[in-house]
A and B are shown apart, each in its own frame.
Chain A
C-alpha cells in the first residue's frame, strides 16, 4: 500500500492498494477511484440511539466506507490545509478531530471519543473525535497549517476549542471557560478553551473548520 499526498491549496491523498489491501474512510470524501477498487461498508461503534445522537449533533456518519484493492483511490476534505500520514504503532491510540480523518488502513481499530463542552450557549454539546488504535497508518487533513507539540508529563497548553486536530490518548483534556479578568462581567464574557496536559504529542490546526471564512 502506498500513500501519496497531492499537495496544493486544497490537498488530496492518493492511495494505491495492492490486491486484497483496504482502507476505510467516510464515503462522502472520495475524490475518485479506479473501477477495480470495490466499496464495502464497515460499521462503527455504538447502538442505534448513540449513532443518531452523533449524526444529529456531530454530523458523524453511521457507517464508514471500505475501499478494497487492487487500484487507486483518492480522498479530499474539500478544504485548504495540510495532509499528514501518521504511523500508529500496535497498541497506541490517537484521537483525531471529527471531520479530519481522510483514510486509515484496515488494521486500525476505530472508535469514537467525546470531549465535553461547557454547556454554555453556542456550545451546548462538545465534540467527537475519531479514536484510532494501531497498528496501521492514518491520513489526516489539518485545516490551514499544522503545528505539532510534544508535551512532557504534566506539561499543559491552553488551546482554542476548534484548534485541536490530533492528540495521543494519553493527553488529558479539560474544557473550561477562560474568564476575561476578574469580576462578574469577566466571567460572563468568557470564551471556551481546552487545556491539554501531557504526556503525549498533539497537533493543532490554524483554521477552526467551523469558522472557515474563504
Chain B
C-alpha cells in the first residue's frame, strides 16, 4: 500500500491498494476511487449499542466501508488539518478522538470506546475509538497536531475536545470541569475544580471540560475542535 498527501488547505490522502490489501473507513470520507476497487462493509458494533449511544447523543457508525482490490482510493475529511500516520505494533492500542479516523489497514482491530465520567450532579461521556495493532491508521486533526511524549507520572491537562489521540498506557485520572460550567457541574464543587485546571479560563463553555492525562505514553493534541 502506498499513500500520498495532496493539497494543504483540506488535505486528501491518496491510497494505492495492491494485491489483496484492504482498508476501512467511514464511507462518507471517500472522495473518489477507481471503479475496480470493491466496496464491502465491516460491522463495528451491535445495533443495540448503536441505539444506546445514539440515545446518549453520540451518532456512532455501525459499520465501516472496506475498500479492497487493485487501484486508488482518495480520502478526505472535508476539513482543514494535519494528517498523521500512526503505526501500531502487534497488540499495541491507541485511543482516538471519535470521528478523527481517516482510514485504517484491515489488520487493525477496532472497537468503539465510550468512557463514562459521570459523577454526582455531572454527566459526561468521552467518545473514543480503540485501535489495536498490528497495522497503520491515519488520523486527521482539526488544525495543527502537537505530540507530547509523557514520562511516567508526568501530567498534562487538555480540554477534551482538543484531545486527538493517546496510547493505552496513558491514563486519564479525572475529568475537570472549568467554572463557570452550568451543565455538568454546579456550585462550590465547580469552583474547587477550577483551582486545579488553568487551561483556557476565558474559553467558551463548550471548551470547559478538561481531561487530566498522565504518562507514560504518547498524547496528540490538536489546535481546533
Across the interface, do B11 and A206 meet the contact criterion of CB distance under 8 Å? yes
Q: Which residues of A contact B31 (CB under 8 A)?
A: 147, 159-160, 163, 204, 206
Name B33's closest neighbour in chain A (CB-CB).
Answer: A158
Closest chain-A Cβ to B50's Cβ sits at a distance in Å of 12
B41 in the interface (beta carbon within 8 A):
yes
Across the interface, do B80 and A204 meet the contact criterion of CB distance under 8 Å? no
Chain B 1-27 interface 0/1 with A at a Cβ cutoff of 8 Å (1 = within)? 000001111111000000000000001
Binds A, one of B71-79, B128-136, B158-166: B71-79
Name A145's closest neighbour in chain B (CB-CB).
Answer: B7
Across the interface, do A214 and B35 meet the contact criterion of CB distance under 8 Å? no
Q: Given contacts A80-B80, A179-B39, A207-B76, is CB(A145)–CB(B11) below 8 Å?
A: yes
Chain A 120-150 interface 0/1 with B at a Cβ cutoff of 8 Å (1 = within)? 0000000000000000000000011111000
A99 in the interface (beta carbon within 8 A):
no
Complex Cα–Cα for A200 and B32 (A): 17
Complex Cα–Cα for A211 and B29 (A): 11
A21 in the interface (beta carbon within 8 A):
no
Across the interface, do A212 and B78 meet the contact criterion of CB distance under 8 Å? yes
Across the interface, do B65 and A191 meet the contact criterion of CB distance under 8 Å? yes
Q: Which residues of B contact A59 (CB under 8 A)?
A: none
Complex Cα–Cα for A178 and B39 (A): 8
Closest chain-B Cβ to A35's Cβ sits at a distance in Å of 33
Residue numbers of B with Cβ under 8 A of A are: 6-12, 27-28, 30-35, 39-41, 62-63, 65-66, 74, 76, 78-80, 142, 224
Residue numbers of A with Cβ under 8 A of B are: 9, 80-82, 143-147, 156-160, 163, 178-181, 185-186, 189, 191, 193, 195, 204, 206-208, 211-214
Can you offer 27 A-B residue contacts whose CB atoms are under 8 A? Answer: A9-B9, A80-B80, A144-B9, A144-B10, A144-B76, A146-B7, A147-B6, A147-B12, A157-B32, A157-B33, A159-B31, A160-B30, A160-B76, A163-B31, A163-B76, A181-B39, A181-B40, A186-B40, A189-B41, A189-B63, A193-B30, A206-B6, A206-B76, A206-B78, A207-B76, A207-B79, A212-B78
